[in-house]
């Protein structure tokens, strides 16, 4: 009778004590963090069937390092919970600590990029109306009102970082350590436009150069991404004078090569 009681069930003969404990931990995690269903894990892992996951939960198959890594990557279940000295009652605490630490790191990464604060720079940027001078992406748009073909757009930067131009396009200012960005969404096409400039130029000059990246051309053609160089000034220059400053359009405007776009799509 005792022999029968101590008999190892079929399928568990090759599992050691650590494997069995990991199966119990996996079962606990599935029950408390996956609503008792291994299907979501199967889908994230790219398995055709959930049978191997069920066997792990039932204690008839051992977990692998890849299973543990997958739980961490896709479900924020740290691999640490499967270390042999960790008890099942410690799992909730370790998961909570891991997720809190991950969230804190994600926030700090964002804050590190735009951590720079400068009252002098903000004062310089918010003290004036600014006029963006550039060659437009579309010479027939409403933003070109002169025969020289120069786009001149009045822009206001507010102390809270909000940016609004005369066409109603809205955005936000983000200060970096050496360069800063304005992210704007065009009111018509809903394209995201990115404007980058050097802080020292904006701080010490009445004019400062910017790089203007149009994620999608303002005429709505999504294959016509482009980069423009232009300049902001506290003065609205006459179109011809602005054109003289900008110089040859071929040197300050770059449109996406459509052949390149096609090669990317077709590969």
Q: What is the pLDDT of residues 185-205, one digit of tens each?
A: 887 767 788 888 888 888 877
Query: Would you give the end-to-end CA distance of the chain in angstroms?
Result: 67
Q: Which of 113, 146, 179 is the last residue of a domain?
A: 113
pLDDT at 146: 65
Low-confidence winner among 6-10, 128-132, 259-263 (lowest mean pLDDT): 6-10
pLDDT at 240 > cutoff 90 = yes
* Domain CATH code at residue 99: 1.10.260.40
Q: What is the pLDDT of residues 164-179, one digit of tens each?
A: 999 899 999 988 888 8
Residues 136 and 255 in one domain: yes
Structural domain for 83, as ranges: 2-113
Residues 239 and 256 in one domain: yes
**pLDDT confidence tier of residue 2, bands split at 50, 70 and 90:** very low
Q: Give percent helix, percent strand, percent coil of the chain, each to the nearest 5.
A: 40, 20, 35
Contact 210, 229 (CB under 8 A): yes
Residues 108 and 123 in one domain: no
Contact 168, 154 (CB under 8 A): no
Average of per-residue pLDDT across 201-220:
68
pLDDT at 1: 41
- Residue of higher predicted confidence among 243 and 107: 243
Residues 62 and 184 in one domain: no
Give the C-alpha distances (Å, rounded to integers) separating 136 from 88, 213, 255: 63, 12, 11
Residues 44 and 124 in one domain: no
CA distance 72 to 16: 23
Residues 239 and 205 in one domain: yes
pLDDT at 226 > cutoff 60 = yes
* Domain CATH code at residue 242: 2.40.128
pLDDT at 6: 36
**Counted domains in the chain:** 2
Q: Which of 85, 113, 141 is the last residue of a domain?
A: 113
Residues 181 and 251 in one domain: yes
Q: Which of 60, 91, 113 is the last residue of a domain?
A: 113
Residues 58 and 130 in one domain: no
């Amino acid at each position: 009778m005792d022999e029968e009681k101590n008999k190892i069930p079929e399928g568990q003969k090759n599992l050691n004590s650590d494997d069995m404990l990991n199966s119990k931990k996996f079962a606990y995690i599935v029950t408390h963090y996956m609503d008792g269903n291994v299907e979501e894990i199967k889908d994230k892992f790219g398995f055709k069937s959930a049978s191997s996951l069920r066997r792990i939960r039932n204690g008839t198959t051992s977990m692998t390092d890849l299973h543990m890594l997958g739980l961490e990557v896709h479900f924020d279940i740290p691999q640490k919970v499967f270390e042999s000295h960790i008890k099942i009652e410690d799992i909730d605490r370790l998961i909570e600590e891991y997720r809190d630490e991950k969230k804190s790191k994600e926030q700090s990464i964002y804050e590190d990029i735009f951590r720079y604060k400068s009252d002098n720079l903000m004062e310089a940027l918010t003290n004036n109306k600014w006029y963006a001078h550039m060659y437009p992406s579309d010479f027939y748009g409403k933003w070109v009102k002169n025969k020289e073909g120069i786009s001149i757009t009045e822009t206001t930067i507010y102390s809270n970082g909000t940016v609004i131009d005369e066409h109603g396009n809205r955005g936000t200012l983000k200060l970096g350590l050496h360069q800063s960005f304005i992210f704007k969404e065009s009111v018509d096409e809903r394209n995201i436009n990115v404007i980058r400039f050097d802080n020292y130029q904006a701080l010490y000059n009445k004019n400062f150069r910017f790089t203007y990246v149009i994620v999608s051309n303002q005429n709505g053609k999504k294959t016509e991404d482009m980069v423009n160089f232009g300049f902001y000034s506290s003065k609205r220059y006459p179109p011809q004078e602005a054109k003289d400053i900008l110089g040859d359009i071929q040197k300050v405007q770059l449109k996406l090569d459509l052949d390149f776009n096609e090669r990317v799509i077709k590969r």
